[in-house]
Amino acid sequence: MLNRIRPLVTQVFVAAARGFSRLGFTPNAVTLLGFAVTAIGAWLILLRLYPYAVTLVAIGGFMDGVDGALARLLNRVTKFGGALDSVLDRYGDALIIAAAWYSMRVMPVLGFFALAGSLITSYSRARLEVTGLSLSSVGILERPERMIILVLTLIFSAYANYFFIALAVLANFTVVQRVVYGWRKLGDS
């Protein structure tokens, strides 16, 4: 959905990656630091310190884009780095969603489907890409859009149930889009 502004966002990530490079950071160090920032943000959500949490969640999400840009800049793209980034992204997503679900007293069914949809969206992409398909623009709700919804949830916490409805519906719809795309491209092979 945000693919239209991807070139602009990429330039911002590359500029930040240059700064991290000058400071001596490795791509995996940025990944780990970004996850740590996100985890602290989730802790602040549990404490209901939403203004501080939203800042850290946004910074953690930003750092998730910087680590890959830094890896490309330094010509240090590795399979392990990609796997580490992906795994920590899922943990970060789960921490943020679970913390908001709990602290904002979101209806359990909404919390479950938002969390499941967010995790399965990423899993469906990874699983289908193993077959050789490219799913870079398949689906209405990729991670950046999910992060935007979560940041808006923190800013407008009184409406958390509505944001969780949006997250649950759009994330699970994205899973359906990806599965249908895979079925059309791969058939029964």
Instruction: Report the catalytic residues.
Output: 89
Q: How far apart are CA 92 and CA 144, in angstroms?
A: 13
| 3-class SS of residue 152 | helix
Contact 153, 162 (CB under 8 A): no
Q: How far apart are CA 122 and CA 126, in angstroms?
A: 6
Contact 133, 186 (CB under 8 A): yes
